[in-house]
């Protein structure tokens, strides 16, 4: 059994908080074990809870468009959430629920060893950028132990506020440039045409 499969089994039987009681399915996350980029959302919504897969509703459709913008497919990246069961009525996850679930995210990161971790929205941002305002730090990153931590708005924000769609697109376009820099292969001028960089 692969490490990720084992983790998914552990998520399915997790009772460390009460979210499993009201959820239909666990939503552990998905993506290849060698993904170079991990996106971390907040928690499953109604659609995700029904299907057991992350970002399959309206926000997920927008996220897929953002992947396409930089030449990525969903199957190229790892997609996780801060909590693995749906909070009832789509409420925010509680601090206790986030901390009860954080060891799963630690394991997902330890297994996949992504080069870039992209936080989507406030809750995953808080894990790496404590006491920050998303309106100030979206589109920025820091590097620690060889991993880049990059903050973005949650894709659902674009569904409610049209002006944020542009911000999210602009932030997304920075990812190929960052990944290219990380790979540190001598190339002509990587910043000249970021969307055409070969990433994988």
Residue ranges that bind ligand URA, judged by CB under 6 A: 41-45, 48, 54-55, 59, 81, 156
Shortest distance (Å) from residue 59 CB to ligand URA = 5
Closer residue to ligand URA, CB minimum distance, 164 or 197: 164
Shortest distance (Å) from residue 119 CB to ligand URA = 11
CA atoms of 15 and 2, how far apart (whole Å)? 22
Closer residue to ligand URA, CB minimum distance, 26 or 176: 26
CA atoms of 52 and 24, how far apart (whole Å)? 8
Closest by CA position to 177, among listed 70, 93, 92: 70
Shortest distance (Å) from residue 168 CB to ligand URA = 14
Chain-centroid distance, C-alpha 182: 19
Which residue's Cβ lies closest to ligand URA?
A: 41
Closer residue to ligand URA, CB minimum distance, 60 or 176: 60
Helix/strand/coil percent split, the chain, to 5 = 50, 10, 40
Shortest distance (Å) from residue 40 CB to ligand URA = 9
Calculate the alpha carbon distances from 122 to 43, 52, 53, 60, 153 in Å: 11, 22, 21, 17, 8
Closer residue to ligand URA, CB minimum distance, 99 or 195: 99
Closer residue to ligand URA, CB minimum distance, 53 or 114: 53
**CB of 82 closer than 8 Å to CB of 29:** no
Chain-centroid distance, C-alpha 27: 13
Shortest distance (Å) from residue 27 CB to ligand URA = 6
| Environment class of 75 (CB within 10 Å of its CB; exposed 0-12, middle 13-18, buried 19+) | exposed
């Amino acid at each position: 059994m692969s490490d990720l499969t084992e983790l998914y089994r552990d998520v399915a039987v997790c009772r460390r908080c009460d979210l499993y009681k009201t959820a239909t399915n666990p939503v552990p996350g998905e993506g290849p074990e060698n993904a170079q980029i991990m996106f971390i959302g907040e928690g499953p919504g109604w659609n995700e809870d029904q299907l057991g897969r992350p970002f399959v509703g309206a926000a997920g459709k927008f996220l897929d468009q953002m992947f396409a913008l930089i030449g990525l497919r969903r199957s190229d990246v790892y997609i996780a959430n801060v909590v693995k069961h749906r909070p009832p009525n789509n409420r925010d996850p509680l601090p206790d629920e986030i901390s009860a679930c954080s060891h799963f995210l630690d394991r997902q990161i330890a297994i996949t060893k992504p080069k870039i971790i992209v936080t989507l929205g406030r809750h995953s941002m808080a894990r790496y950028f404590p006491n920050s305002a998303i309106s100030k730090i979206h589109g920025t990153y820091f590097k620690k132990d060889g991993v880049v931590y990059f903050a973005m708005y949650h894709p659902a924000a674009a569904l409610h506020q049209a002006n944020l769609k542009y911000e999210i697109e602009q932030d997304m376009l920075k990812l190929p440039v960052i990944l290219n820099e990380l790979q540190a292969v001598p190339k002509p001028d990587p910043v000249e045409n970021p969307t055409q960089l070969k990433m994988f």
